[in-house]
């Protein structure tokens, strides 16, 4: 009976995600596997600027945005084992793909990053499941806030910010204020309450509600990862 219930729940999640994808498409929202969603832009805004934080070794969000929309993508990821693959992408895509080896987090300054030898994702969070259970290495990286990153890149605004920072999003977004998010037209956030025991879905919901109060509308395929679109 336990396995039957689990099967029904899994089937329900798949059905919900499929129905929402179909409905979102009618609203101008597009999907990139495994879980990225974003609003398309009219033709005159085709040259998009995208900041892909926590891009991973293959940077699938950036590469899809480049190939579909000729976007200019800045991939931000401090993981040493991803450096070679991201350098290859920079050579392939030229000035449309730039890799910045920083860790986006709540405060500017140096901090310790934990790299997993087993999983793709590491974290600056010592209680992240991959840090707790995996063998790996640690090293110092430059931490930077989103607004400081914009200043570093000499950008006043960005079309899409994608945040996948393996649990560090909670401290960052709990203390962030409206003026630090307004430069971004769209923000896609992967939440990690599943990977860090001290955070629950309630903390995720509180942050979603907070960002919506700043003048954003939220959308989600799975009630876990969220797209925010600025309305004012």
Residue at 80 is within a domain: yes
Residue at 216 is within a domain: yes
Give the lowest-confidence range in 9-23, 71-85, 151-165: 9-23
In this prediction, residues 170-182 reach a mean pLDDT of: 97
As for how many domains the chain has, the answer is: 1
Q: What is the pLDDT of residue 15?
A: 76
Does the pLDDT at position 7 exceed 60? no
Residue at 130 is within a domain: no
Does the pLDDT at position 122 exceed 80? yes
Residue at 136 is within a domain: no
| 3-state DSSP of the chain | CHHHHHHHHHHHHHHHHHHHHHHHHHCCEEEECCCEEEECCCHHHCCCEEEEECCCCCCHHHHHHHHHHCCEEEEECCCHHHHHHHHHHHHHHHHHEEEECEEECCCCEEEEEEEECCCCCCECCCCEHHHHHCCEEEEEEEEECHHHHHHHHCCCCEEEEEECCCCCHHHHHHHCCHHHHCCEEEEEEECCCCCECCCCHHHHHHHHHHHHHCCEEEECCCCCEEEEEECC
Residue at 185 is within a domain: yes
For 64-73, the pLDDT digits (tens) are: 999 999 999 9
In this prediction, residues 172-201 reach a mean pLDDT of: 97
pTM: 0.93
Residue at 11 is within a domain: yes
What's the CATH code of the domain at 54? 3.40.50.150
Residue at 112 is within a domain: no
* Residue 211 structural domain: 2-104+153-230
Residue at 119 is within a domain: no
In this prediction, residues 154-165 reach a mean pLDDT of: 97
Q: What is the pLDDT of residue 23?
A: 86
Does the pLDDT at position 86 exceed 90? yes
């Amino acid at each position: 009976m336990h396995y039957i219930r689990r099967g029904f729940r899994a089937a329900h999640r798949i059905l919900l995600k499929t129905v929402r994808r179909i409905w979102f498409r009618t609203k101008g929202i597009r999907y990139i596997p495994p879980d990225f969603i974003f609003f398309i832009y009219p033709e005159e805004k085709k040259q998009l600027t995208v900041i892909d934080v926590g891009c991973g070794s293959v940077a699938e969000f950036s590469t899809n945005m480049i190939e579909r929309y000729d976007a200019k993508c800045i991939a931000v990821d401090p993981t040493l084992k991803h450096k070679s693959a991201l350098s290859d992408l920079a050579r392939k895509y030229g000035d449309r793909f730039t890799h910045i080896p920083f860790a986006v987090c709540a405060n500017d300054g140096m901090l310790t990053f934990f790299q997993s030898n087993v999983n793709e994702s590491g974290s600056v969070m010592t209680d992240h499941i991959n840090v707790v259970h995996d063998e790996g290495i640690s090293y110092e990286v430059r931490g930077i806030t989103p607004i400081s990153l914009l200043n570093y890149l000499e950008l006043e605004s960005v079309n899409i910010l994608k945040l996948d920072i393996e649990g560090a999003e909670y401290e960052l977004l709990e203390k962030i204020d409206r003026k630090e998010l307004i430069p971004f037209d769209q923000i896609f956030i992967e939440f990690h309450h599943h990977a860090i025991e001290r955070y629950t879905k309630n903390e995720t919901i509180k942050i979603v509600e907070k960002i919506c109060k700043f003048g954003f509308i939220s959308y989600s395929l799975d009630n876990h990862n969220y797209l925010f679109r600025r309305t004012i």
